[in-house]
Structure 1
Amino acid sequence: MAAGKIRRSPLERAEYAIILSTLLLLVVVMVQPLLNLLAVSLSSPSEVARMSGLTIIPEGFSLEVWKLLITNPAVQQGLINSVFITLTSTALGVCFTALMAWGLSRPGLPGRRILLVFVLVTIVFDPGIIPDYFLNKRLGLIDSYWSVILFKLVNAWYLIILIRFFEEVPNEILEAAELDGANVFQTFWYVVLPVSKSALATIALFYFVFHWNDFFRPMIYLNDQSKWPLQVVLRQFVVEGDKIAMVGLENSVNYTGASQINIRALSAGMILLTIVPILAIYPLILKFFTKGTMSGALKG
């Protein structure tokens, strides 16, 4: 038998084949709708109406939909707003969540149990949209990006995840840093954070997906349409069918074929625009999950 080759019994091979087939089926089920959206958005406007929901090959290749979407001011501004809100919220969320989790993970923190109870209370009792709206109005945050960015700046669920992770950081590492003369903040920055990359990446991914997909709060608090993120633009267009206002066809009188663009094709293009950034960030984050959490932290 070749070195390193694993020999499986017939039962194990059958189980492996079933698992592999199931995973491939799940991949097909999840990827097919995305391919259908791509095919619809790349098809000729005159052919879109005849395409089924299972079609994955464009009918009469055309880039008219993407030209119209990419050059549209509302879509461009919505994409810029989404990127700004999401990146700012994610960066601040990870920063403040990590700082708070590190403090609450230390057994000697005065009032630690009381603070943890308050954290749990925020999970069980949600303040509701009306008190939240009046609070933002009193603070002057209505129609401001900060009304969206500051929302759940520290998510209680993510905070608990980081607390549990920081509690498992070996004391040997912390004691070694203390012996080297590091203070609390130096220990946190130079010792704890480097060995917590996988946990921080997980939290960053959660915050990114949450804020990128959020449309309800921006729809309520951002009255200025120039501040709408892409998700609100998508909702107005797809859900309400506001083809003229949201896609800007009223400004495209001289655009060849603009009046013939199928609303289904435009919807497919808009949906893909909101999905692609989420799909693109996963490979960037995935490398942190494949590495050992404490890799290189302890030496024999």
Structure 2
Amino acid sequence: MTRANSTRFERLEQTIIVSSLLLMVVVTVQPILNLLAISFSDSAQVPGMSGLAVVPRGFSLDVWTLLIANPEVQRGLLNSLFITITGTILNVTFTALMAWALSRPRLPGRRILFVFVLATIVFEPGLIPDYFVVRELGLLNTYWAVILYKLVNAWYLIILIRFFEEVPGELLEAAELDGANAFQTLWKVVLPLTMPALATITLFYLVYHWNEFLRPMIYLNDSSMHPLQVVLRKFVLDGDKSSMVGLAAMSNYQGAAQISTRALNAGMIMLTILPILAVYPLILKFFTKGTMSGALKG
């Protein structure tokens, strides 16, 4: 094959790849833009909007005003933030500590401990045994029943172990010669070098806690403790608009009863999506850093 034909083929290949990626972006983003447009549209014009519309009709903030002012939505948002932030901090901390220990070749019983980790993947307990354990521990109707579940995810633990094992032994030996103990070596040497892996599992844990709704529905009997996802299910899946519209008398918002259910559902869905979308750019920068980038710091 000549160089000209090779160049033509490469351009065609690049065009196909770029076009495919653009199509995937459009397919992914379009539904989100549609929900956003509906939530900012005048309720009287929402029924005429198709599923492809991405521009609001008759711009209005009525839906967002009602959502933000609703006490149940406010409580759900605060509950979700507490569960997600607390859970993610504990998850990342204990996963990193356990991964650091299991990545050390001189750890006694390392292989046996790793077998137990793999066993949790294959033999995960069912919902009923899990419920009995939570009940016996006295964690029913507490946030900890949701936060402490899978405090260390075995898959994410394996990812961190592999990254920790790739840190050159020379750097660890240099830290030991400088008088650093195990925790100092982990904090000042290993973690900065494995930031891409930490960012990855942090994002995974964040998304998991933020999207969790099954366990809160089972273990949190007090509705005031429900996270935003449970509130979303109540409004969207159960079609419960009464509590939302009932806010009209409390807030003197006379237009609440006229708000379209479709617009209200769209706004509620976007309210649960936007916080995670806002976190992605903050973590994304760590994905492009190499494992050894921290070693170049002075």
* TM-score of Structure 1 vs Structure 2, range by shorter chain: over 0.9
Among candidates 244, 248, 252, match of residue 252 of structure 1: 248
Asked if the contact 1:173–1:298 (Cα under 8 Å) also holds between the matched residues in 2, the reply is: no
What whole-Å deviation, never above 9, does each CA across 1:207-258 have from its counterpart, x for those lacking one?
Answer: 001111111111111111111100000011111111113x2x2231332211
Partner of 1:64: 62
Distance in 2 between residues matched to 1:279 and 1:159, nearest whole Å: 25
Distance in 1 between residues matched to 2:122 and 2:270, nearest whole Å: 35
5 Å-filtered alignment, 1:50-129, equals 50-129=48-127
Which structure 2 residue ranges, 5 or more long, are not aligned? 1-5
Q: Report which stretch shifted further, 249-258 or 262-271.
A: 249-258
How big is the shift at 1:164? 0.9
Distance in 2 between residues matched to 1:116 and 1:292, nearest whole Å: 27
**Runs of at least 4 residues off by over 2 Å:** none
What whole-Å deviation, never above 9, does each CA across 1:102-148 have from its counterpart, x for those lacking one?
Answer: 00111111111111111111001111111111111111111101111
Partner of 1:185: 183
- What's the secondary structure of 2:84's corresponding residue? helix
- What's the secondary structure of 2:149's corresponding residue? coil
- Residues 1:9 and 2:3 aligned together: no
Aligned residue identity for 2:188:
Y
- Give the TM-score, by structure 2 length: 0.95
Distance in 2 between residues matched to 1:197 and 1:139, nearest whole Å: 35
Distance in 2 between residues matched to 1:154 and 1:219, nearest whole Å: 22
What whole-Å deviation, never above 9, does each CA across 1:143-165 have from its counterpart, x for those lacking one?
Answer: 10111110111001000110111
How big is the shift at 1:68? 0.4
How big is the shift at 1:296? 4.4
What whole-Å deviation, never above 9, does each CA across 1:82-112 have from its counterpart, x for those lacking one?
Answer: 0110010000000000000000111111111
Which structure 1 residue ranges, 5 or more long, are not aligned? 1-7
Asked if the contact 1:42–1:61 (Cα under 8 Å) also holds between the matched residues in 2, the reply is: yes
- What's the secondary structure of 2:50's corresponding residue? coil
- Residues 1:171 and 2:162 aligned together: no
Sequence identity percentage = 70
Partner of 1:132: 130
Distance in 2 between residues matched to 1:255 and 1:281, nearest whole Å: 32
- Give the TM-score, by structure 1 length: 0.94
What whole-Å deviation, never above 9, does each CA across 1:246-296 have from its counterpart, x for those lacking one?
Answer: x2x223133221111111111100110111111111110111111221114
5 Å-filtered alignment, 1:280-299, equals 280-297=278-295
Among candidates 239, 243, 247, match of residue 237 of structure 2: 239
Q: Report which of the two has the higher share of helix.
A: 2
Q: Report which stretch shifted further, 290-299 or 112-121.
A: 290-299
Q: Report which stretch shifted further, 151-160 or 252-261.
A: 252-261
Count the aligned residue pairs.
Answer: 290
